[in-house]
Structure 1
Amino acid sequence: MAAFLDRRDPENIEGSAERFEDRAGGWLDVMAAAAELHPITRACMGFHLWSLAGLGQHGDQMEAAVTASRIAASDGSGAIFAPLAMGGAGGLRASGLPPKRLTGWLDGMNSAILTAMRHLNDIETWTSKTEKEMSRLSGRTPPALRAVLTEWPMISAPMAENLTGASRTAVQRNLSWMEAQGLIREVTRQGRYRMWQASH
């Protein structure tokens, strides 16, 4: 784990200080002891124990969240995809006793899944509407650009150019047309480094 996370103890670590390998080993031992729990419960447990074990760096919870997602999907009976952050901070809040944390985790997961499903429904509706509106346009750029905007929450012109294989001119022309039709909106509100997203 130390090599994967690229974590090293200082060379002058004091004798009383616990080494990273020992802290990681303690976390792994606790997680192994919880092997009989449901993967979603283990994911919650692993997330909240991560910082208590001293594995987080400067309060960063990204590694803990990624590890928790891998635990949740580990054996196929848990959550294959649970965008917990989409449900607000409640599921990731580290306060209260373990039952309260697990309840918050499950509520946050439920809220996140509902939010993600609404977003997917909006994208599906947008795709149907956009396909109909763009049917009068010729060439391969309009459908390719529509596909990119379906798959990505926001795009820039260089990103669209790269993903569609179309020229910068064709991408800019189609983005301008889509924006004029109200199909997409520019979200950065600046002249350079502009980003667009689907208008739901």
Structure 2
Amino acid sequence: MKAQDLKKNNELESPFAFPNEDSAPSEGDLWFLPAPIEEGADTLPPGPRAEQPLAQNSAAWAQAEAGQAAHLARVAGRFGALDDRLQRGPNGWRHRLALMEVAELSWYVGPRISPDRLALWLALRLSAAQDTPQTLARMGWAVRRLTAGAGPLEDLATFLDRRDPEDAVTAGETFAGRAQAWRKAMAAGADLHPITQACMGFHLWRLAGLGPKGDSVEAAVTAVRIAASEGRGALFTPLMLGGADALRATGAPPVRLTRWLDSMEQAVLSAMRHLEELEAWEMRAEQTLKRTSGRTPPALRDVFVEWPLVSAPMAQTLTGSSRAAVQRNLNRMEAVGLIREVTGQGRFRMWTARV
């Protein structure tokens, strides 16, 4: 075969050779090639969306509330039962629930203060080596705001104990200006249920610039106080006892409200179960200690109702009794099974009620 014939055969057998223009593929068949770039096309990734004005968020939250009407009514009913129980119970119940709520909140925001360390700080101003005074002071502020004082909607600056510096001139840069914008947004949602209004206020907190990113202590404390604004016995609505899922700032208002209601319902149920067990323990302690003389046994019983964990110095300070009387009654209560020691140490021991 001639060299010229071989050359022709190779050209015809090549998969990339087209003997004539009619057999050449069209541009539509070349699917693997990139599409031509249009002139003036925006190929940049999308940037951050502009946030809606705070006052315009109330309509979206009203629509979310309408979609969760049945769930909201169930949660409100459960909180009403808790509010009635707290109204008829001793003040120590509110303080105990506040300590538990703040301890759970601390696990979400980062410091992770256990109830015993928080109790030592509040009662004796004692702190562990790993605890900073600033962190304990913030958690102590949260406990105080959940147990006493006016609500945040009356005077937000007093509730947060925050003031503007003297060199702050621009209204947008001052705390008073940001707080006014937040209160205006909350006033736009005044027709919402307090639980829905609390959820809205929590998620508008960062948009109003009232707190740094990642710090939700003030926002969470403010929200649970707003949720219980119509309560008579409860100053706040438990939330963190049901998990930290409610504080996730993702999703549309209906999704956020659903998570809020789920966590609040679980928290209220947990608080109710805890109070039932605590009330049964209190009755058992009263029957067991009625034959003992002195004022220390009933005072110690009230201390264990109010505080989840108690040390001997704490009991001495809170009851006003002598160290010997406190230690003697602690040993007696432990012997009859009313309390138990939780540290397992010979020194710096802590006791809790055996509920």
The answer, yes or no, to whether TM exceeds 0.5 is yes
Alignment of 1:30 onto 2:30: no
TM-score under structure 1 normalisation?
0.83
Residue 274 (structure 2) aligned to one of 104, 119, 143? 119
What is the match of residue 214 of structure 2?
A: 59
What is the match of residue 162 of structure 2?
A: 6
Identity of aligned residues (%): 61
Alignment of 1:198 onto 2:350: no
> What letter is aligned with 2:305?
T
- The offset of 1:195, in angstroms, is 2.2
Larger radius of gyration: 2
Deviations 1:28-71 (A, max 9, x none): 22111111111111111101111232211352212112211332
What is the match of residue 101 of structure 1?
A: 256
* Consecutive unaligned residues in structure 2, runs of 5 or more: 1-155
Measure, in 1, the Cα distance between the counterparts of 2:350 and 2:241: 21
Deviations 1:13-42 (A, max 9, x none): 9x9x84443332221221111111111111
Residue 319 (structure 2) aligned to one of 164, 176, 182? 164
> What letter is aligned with 2:292?
L
Equivalence map 1:34-183=2 (5 Å): 34-57=189-212, 59-76=214-231, 80-183=235-338
Measure, in 2, the Cα distance between the counterparts of 1:142 and 1:183: 12
Measure, in 2, the Cα distance between the counterparts of 1:132 and 1:76: 32
Q: Which structure has the higher relative contact order (CA within 8 Å, separation 6+)?
A: 2
Q: Would the aligned equivalents of 1:9 and 1:20 in 2 still touch at CA under 8 Å? A: no
Secondary structure of residue in 2 paired with 1:182: coil
> What letter is aligned with 1:6?
R
> What letter is aligned with 2:311?
S
Measure, in 2, the Cα distance between the counterparts of 1:94 and 1:196: 38
> What letter is aligned with 2:210?
L
Measure, in 2, the Cα distance between the counterparts of 1:10 and 1:89: 37
- The offset of 1:129, in angstroms, is 2.2
Deviations 1:144-189 (A, max 9, x none): 2112212222222222122222211111111122223332122344
Q: Would the aligned equivalents of 1:72 and 1:80 in 2 still touch at CA under 8 Å? A: no
Measure, in 2, the Cα distance between the counterparts of 1:81 and 1:161: 29
Measure, in 2, the Cα distance between the counterparts of 1:126 and 1:76: 26
Q: Would the aligned equivalents of 1:51 and 1:59 in 2 still touch at CA under 8 Å? A: no
- The offset of 1:115, in angstroms, is 0.4
